[in-house]
Amino acid sequence: MNVLRKIGLALFAPVLAVVVAVVISSAVMAALQVDPFEVFAVMVDFGDTPSQQVTALVVILNRAVPLFLAGLAVAIAFRMGLFNIGVEGQYRLATILAAGVGAAVALPGPLHVLLIVVVAMAVAAIWAGIVAVLKVTRGVSEVISSIMLNVIALGIASFLLTGPLRGSPEGASIIATAEIPESGWMPSLNGVFGLLGLATPPRQLYGFLLVAVVVGAVIAVLLNRTRFGFDLRAAGLSPSAASASGVDSRGMVVKTMLLSGAVAGLIGMPDLLGSTHAYTTDFTSGLGFLGIAVALLGRNKPVGIALGALLFAFLDRSLVPLQIQDFPASVVTIIQGTIVLAVVVANEIARRVARRSAERGSAAPAVVAGDGSTGPGQAASGAASDGGAADGGVGTGAGVSRSAGAGQRSDERQESGL
Amino acid sequence: MKVAALLLAGSMALAACASDETGGGSSGSGGGEGGGSEEPRIGLAFDTGGRGDRSFNDAAVAGLEAAVEEHGGEFQDLSPNADGSNRADLLTQLADEGYNPIIAVGFAYGEVIGDVVEQYPDTTFAIIDSSAAEVGADNLTGLLFSEEEGSFLAGVAAALKSETGHVGFVGGVETPLIQKFEAGYVAGAQAVNPQIIIDRQYISPAGDFSGFNAPDRGLLVAQGMYEGGADIVYHAAGGSGLGVFQAAAAAGARAIGVDSDQYQTVDDPALQAVILTSMLKRVDTAVSSFIDSFVDGSVQGGEDIVYNLEQDGVGLSTSGGFIDDIQDQIEEYRTQIVDGEITVPSTP
Q: Are residues A258 and A119 both part of a single domain? A: yes
Residue B302 CA to its chain's centroid (Å): 23
Q: Say what the alpha-carbon torsion angle A325, A343, A284, A211 is, to the nearest 10 degrees.
A: -110
Q: Residue A394 belongs to what domain range?
A: 364-418
C-alpha to C-alpha distance for A297 and A311, rounded to whole angstroms:
10
C-alpha to C-alpha distance for B275 and B265, rounded to whole angstroms:
11
SS3 B210: helix
Nearest to B80 by CA among A342, A63, A24: A63
Residue of A82, A83, A282 to mutate for B, most B C-beta atoms under 10 A: A282
Q: Are residues A393 and A271 both part of a single domain? A: no
Residue B190 CB-density burial (10 A; 0-12 exposed, 13-18 middle, 19+ buried): middle
List pLDDT tens digits, range B106-118. Answer: 888 988 898 899 8
Q: Are residues A205 and A339 both part of a single domain? A: no
Binary contact (A173, B206; C-beta < 8 A):
no
Domain boundary among A314, A345, A362: A362
A54 occurs within a structural domain: no
Q: Are residues A358 and A373 both part of a single domain? A: no
Question: Residue A298 belongs to a domain with what CATH number?
Answer: 1.10.3470
Residue of B nearest to A145 (CA): B5
Using CB atoms, pick whichever of B9, B78, B84 lies closest to residue A282: B84
- Higher pLDDT residue, B102 or A53? B102
Element (H, E) at B9: helix B2-17
A222 occurs within a structural domain: yes
Strand order through the sheet with B304-307:
B74-78, B41-45, B102-105, B125-128, B140-145, B304-307
Taking CA atoms, A95 is separated from A186, A205, A392, in Å, by 15, 20, 40
SS3 B8: helix
CA neighbours closer than 13 Å in the CB half-sphere of residue B163: 5
A72 occurs within a structural domain: yes
Residue of A nearest to B25 (CA): A323
Domain edges within chain B: 22-145+284-307, 147-281+318-338
Is B243 a residue whose pLDDT tops 60?
yes
Query: Given this structure, which CATH class describes domain B147-281+318-338?
Result: alpha beta
ipTM: 0.75
The predicted structure's pLDDT at residue B110: 86
C-alpha to C-alpha distance for A268 and A352, rounded to whole angstroms:
38
The predicted structure's pLDDT at residue A60: 93
Q: Are residues A353 and A227 both part of a single domain? A: no
Q: Are residues A195 and A316 both part of a single domain? A: yes
Binary contact (A174, B96; C-beta < 8 A):
no
Integer-rounded Cα Rg, in Å, for chain A is 22
Count of Cβ atoms closer than 10 Å to residue B331 Cβ = 11
List pLDDT tens digits, range B306-340. Answer: 998 988 899 999 988 898 999 999 999 999 999 98
Count of Cβ atoms closer than 10 Å to residue A110 Cβ = 11
Using CB atoms, pick whichever of B17, B77, B86 lies closest to residue A333: B17
Are A253 and A247 in contact, with CB atoms under 8 Å apart?
no
DSSP state of B209: G
Task: Please report residues of A whose CB lies closer than 8 A to that of B108.
Answer: 174, 282
C-alpha angle B203/B142/A167, rounded to 5°? Answer: 55
Strand order through the sheet with B232-236:
B197-204, B166-173, B232-236, B254-259, B275-281, B314-316
Which residues, including other chains, have CB under 8 Å from residue A334's CB and lie 6 or more apart?
A24, A25, A28, A29
List pLDDT tens digits, range B156-181. Answer: 999 999 999 999 999 998 888 899 99
C-alpha to C-alpha distance for B38 and A325, rounded to whole angstroms:
22
C-alpha to C-alpha distance for A73 and B2, rounded to whole angstroms:
20
Mean pLDDT of chain B: 84
A50 occurs within a structural domain: no
Are A123 and A272 in contact, with CB atoms under 8 Å apart?
no
C-alpha angle A370/A375/A379, rounded to 5°? Answer: 100
Task: Please report residues of A whose CB lies closer than 8 A to that of B21.
Answer: 330
Amino acid occupying residue B183: A
Residue A163 CB-density burial (10 A; 0-12 exposed, 13-18 middle, 19+ buried): exposed
SS3 B145: strand
A39 occurs within a structural domain: no
* Predicted structure pTM score: 0.80
DSSP state of B225: H
User: What percent of chain B has pLDDT above 70?
Assistant: 89
The predicted structure's pLDDT at residue B143: 92
Nearest to A58 by CA among A197, A182, A186, A192: A192
Q: Are residues A195 and A321 both part of a single domain? A: yes
The predicted structure's pLDDT at residue A372: 36
Q: Residues B85-108: what's their mean pLDDT?
A: 89
Amino acid occupying residue A184: G
Binary contact (A290, B207; C-beta < 8 A):
no
Preceding omega of B101 cis (within 30 degrees of 0)? yes
Query: Given this structure, which CATH class describes domain B22-145+284-307?
Result: alpha beta
A272 occurs within a structural domain: yes
List pLDDT tens digits, range B279-302. Answer: 999 999 999 999 999 998 888 888
C-alpha to C-alpha distance for B1 and A389, rounded to whole angstroms:
14
Distance from CA of B147 to the nearest CA of A (A): 13
Structural domain count, chain A: 3
Binary contact (A319, B177; C-beta < 8 A):
no
Task: Please report residues of B whose CB lies closer than 8 A to that of A333.
Answer: 17-19
Q: Are residues A150 and A269 both part of a single domain? A: yes
The predicted structure's pLDDT at residue A361: 67
C-alpha to C-alpha distance for A97 and B81, rounded to whole angstroms:
26
Using CB atoms, pick whichever of B1, B86, B205 lies closest to residue A410: B1
C-alpha to C-alpha distance for B56 and B257, rounded to whole angstroms:
11
Cα distance between the two ends of chain B: 46
Which pLDDT band holds residue B150 (cuts at 50, 70, 90)?
very high
B8 touches chain A (CB under 8 A): yes
Task: Please report residues of B whose CB lies closer than 8 A to that of A341.
Answer: 10
Fold match flag (B22-145+284-307 vs B147-281+318-338): yes
Three-state SS string over chain A comes to: CCHHHHHHHHHHHHHHHHHHHHHHHHHHHHHCCCCHHHHHHHHHCCCCCHHHHHHHHHHHHHHHHHHHHHHHHHHHHHHCCCCCCCHHHHHHHHHHHHHHHHHHCCCCHHHHHHHHHHHHHHHHHHHHHHHHHHHHHHCCCHHHHHHHHHHHHHHHHHHHHHCCCECCCCCCCCCEECCCCHHHCCCCCCHHHHHCCCCCCCCCCCCHHHHHHHHHHHHHHHHHHCHHHHHHHHHHHCHHHHHHCCCCHHHHHHHHHHHHHHHHCCCCHHHHHHHHCCCECCCCCCHHHHHHHHHHHCCCCHHHHHHHHHHHHHHHHCHHHHHHCCCCCHHHHHHHHHHHHHHHHHHHHHHHHHHHHHHHCCCCHHHHHHHCCCCCCCCCCCCCCCCHHHCCCCCCCCCCCCCHHHHHHHHHHHHHHC
- Higher pLDDT residue, A417 or B343? B343
List pLDDT tens digits, range A333-364. Answer: 887 788 778 877 887 787 788 788 888 765 44
Distance from CA of B341 to the nearest CA of A (A): 23
Distance from CA of A247 to the nearest CA of B (A): 23
Q: Are residues A311 and A387 both part of a single domain? A: no
Are A175 and A163 in contact, with CB atoms under 8 Å apart?
no
Q: Are residues A277 and A348 both part of a single domain? A: no
A413 occurs within a structural domain: yes
List pLDDT tens digits, range A30-49. Answer: 888 888 888 888 888 888 88
Each of the 418 residues of chain A gets a pLDDT tens digit; together they read 577 777 776 777 778 877 888 888 888 888 888 888 888 888 888 888 888 888 889 999 999 999 999 999 999 999 988 999 999 999 999 999 999 999 999 888 889 999 999 999 999 999 999 999 999 999 899 999 999 999 999 999 989 998 889 888 776 778 889 999 999 998 888 888 888 877 777 788 999 999 999 999 999 999 999 999 998 888 888 888 888 888 888 889 999 999 999 999 999 999 999 988 999 888 888 899 999 989 988 888 899 899 999 999 998 888 888 888 888 777 778 877 887 788 778 877 877 887 888 887 654 444 433 333 333 344 333 333 343 333 333 333 344 443 333 333 333 333 333 3
Are B150 and B279 in contact, with CB atoms under 8 Å apart?
yes
Binary contact (B1, A285; C-beta < 8 A):
no
Q: Are residues A187 and A211 both part of a single domain? A: yes
Residue A28 CB-density burial (10 A; 0-12 exposed, 13-18 middle, 19+ buried): middle
A55 occurs within a structural domain: no
Nearest to B41 by CA among B59, B61, B23, B64: B64
Q: Are residues A291 and A391 both part of a single domain? A: no
